[in-house]
Structure formats: structure tokens, C-alpha cells
Amino acid sequence: MTQTLVVDAANVVGSRPDGWWKDRAGAARRLHEALLVADTSYDEIVLVLEGQAKGGVRAGRDGHVRTVHAKGPGDDTILAEARAAAARGRVVVVTADRMLQARVGGVGAQTLGPSWLLDQL
């Protein structure tokens, strides 16, 4: 059984008032770099980017981190990734968005908040 962590990048980056809004692509790149070296128990980490943040990291796989560029609303892409991962094993979605938490819970995903992930990094 695989363990997948799906990261709502906009929500995680937006949880810290560190000037991310001045450079959304740079903030996404910094989160991606931190995930690459993070010591977690997950087989795969899926980083979902939307809007200007997509300019910071190319879509595709880097080691155990797979970056996905949302074609529409990020929440829809996160839900699709959570659904696919739940079919393969355990999935945890990192977001503080209550509506998204309810949606991914419907496909069997657990949720954790951005502060949990940031503490891991």
C-alpha cells in the first residue's frame, strides 16, 4: 500500500506572511525545494500549483516529488489527485481550506493543516 501526500501549495505558501505575494513563482520553488529534501514517510508527494506559482516549478517528477500544474481551479486538481491516490493506498491532503477538506474526505483522504507540513520542513 502506497502512502501519498498531496500538497495544496497555494494554501501552504499563503499560511505564512513572508512576502510570498510579491513572488508567487519563487515561493512555489522554495516549497518544492524543501519537499525534495524533507524526511517524510510518504512514498510520493504531489505538489499542486496554480496561477503564477506554476512559473516556479516545471510539471513532472523530481525524485519522490511530483509537481502538477492545475489546468483549472486548484481544488479540482487536488481532489482528482486525492481520488487517484486513494485508489492506490493511503492519502493525506495538506490544506486548511475547510471546503476542500470536506471534498477530499469524501474520497477517503485524511487532511492535515499547513502548519503540520511546515513543521516537517
Q: pLDDT, tens digit, for every residue of 83-120?
A: 999 999 999 999 999 999 999 999 999 999 999 999 99
Instruction: List the one residue out of 28, 37, 83, 88 whose CA is nearest residue 63.
Output: 37
What confidence tens digit (pLDDT) does each residue in 45-66 have?
Answer: 999 999 999 999 999 999 999 9
Task: Please give the domain boundaries of the chain with CATH numbers for all domains.
Answer: 2-120 (3.40.50)
SS (H, E, C) 22-83: HCHHHHHHHHHHHHHHCCCCCCEEEEEECHHHHHHCCCEEECCEEEEECCCCHHHHHHHHHH
The structure's pTM equals: 0.94
